Amino acid sequence: MSVTSQSESGIKPQKLTSGPGTLLVWLYGVMVVGAVSRSAVQISTEFGHAPLAYSLSALAGIVYGFITYSLVRGGEKARRAALVCCAAELLGVLTVGTWTLADPSAFPDATVWSDYGMGYLFIPVLLPVTAMFWLNKARRAAA
């Protein structure tokens, strides 16, 4: 196995939190706290105002939580599970983002994924793409 000088991932291929993984875990952690606490407050205080939006935020929080857990856990199974969730997340952001632009009346209040995550500096749409690159690289390093 040839290890390039810059590539740390070649040494411990299945440790998903090393190198760029640290940044991913941090950003996913932030998104978990953001989405879960936001939906918890909104669902407990004003659920009737925008049930669809708040439920979607809660769902986003759960997906983020699972990806964070998978990254920290590491290993091939967790890597694949995280990959699937990242794809689901990307699909969710794109669907909800388009939906909020096409039919704003369905969303009296914003979700984490509204307008492709604009309220969160577009992190929701950038994060899954970056994470999928990283997870693929981890597999190639392992092979």
Partner 1 sequence: MLDALTVATAVAALALAAWCGFAAYRDQPTKDWHFIGMAVVSLLATVQLIVGIVLLARGEKPDQGTTIFVAYLIGAFACIPAAGFMSLAERTRWGSVTVAAGGIVLAVLQVRLYDIWGG
Our CA angle for 29, 129, 52, nearest 5°, is 65
Q: 111-142: b or e for each residue (b if 16 or more CB lie within 10 Å)?
A: bbbbbbbeebeebbbebbeebbebbebbeebe
Question: In residues, how long is the chain?
Answer: 143
Binders of partner 1 among 111-140, rule CB under 8 A? 121
Tell me which residue has tokens 């952001």.
93
Size of site (CB under 8 A) for partner 1: 18
Asked if 3 touches partner 1 (CB under 8 A), the answer is no
Please list every residue from 37 through 96 that binds partner 1, using CB under 8 A.
Answer: 37, 41, 45
- Establish if 10 lies at the interface with partner 1 (CB under 8 A): no
Q: How far is the CB of 58 from partner 1 (least distance, A)?
A: 16
Scanning 14-22, 47-55, 58-66, 82-90 for contacts with partner 1 by CB under 8 A, the matching segment is 14-22
Kindly tell me which of 37 and 95 has the beta carbon lying closer to partner 1. 37
CA distance 121 to 124: 8
Stretch of 18-26, 49-57, 103-111, 131-139 lying at the interface with partner 1 (CB under 8 A): 18-26
